[in-house]
Amino acid sequence: MIEELARHRCTGDDGTALVVVEHRHVFTSHGEAGARQHRGAAWATLLNGEPVRYIDASTFEVIATGELLIHDLRRCDCAPAVRIATRDGGRESMAGQA
């Protein structure tokens, strides 16, 4: 599964409002003690899936273009998302939703 950790309000080089989404892999294993979740690698993208790199607490970079995205710390509550998404052959479904 893929867990959405947070969404960050940012501003691009040209003043465009953008959202950076932090994701993380979550694996579940089953053993004698029951199910156990293991958190894996984390990464960031724009809403459209474009890969983004973390520079520092107030800056992200779009990897393909080098565009710097300024994290608007005053307006962004950076609240964690409550949804868990899974990807199956390019399709995305939300756990707990029909």
- Residue 66 domain-assigned? yes
- Residue 70 domain-assigned? yes
pLDDT score, position 43: 93
- Residue 82 domain-assigned? no
pLDDT score, position 62: 96
> What are the Cα distances from residue 59, in Å, to 20, 32, 72, 73, 77?
11, 44, 9, 10, 16
- Residue 44 domain-assigned? yes
- Residue 46 domain-assigned? yes
For residue 38, the tally of other CB atoms under 10 A from its CB is 9
* pLDDT tens digits along 60-86: 999 999 999 998 777 777 755 444 455
Q: Total domain count for the chain? A: 1
Domain encompassing residue 30: 2-76
- Residue 83 domain-assigned? no
- Residue 81 domain-assigned? no
- Residue 52 domain-assigned? yes
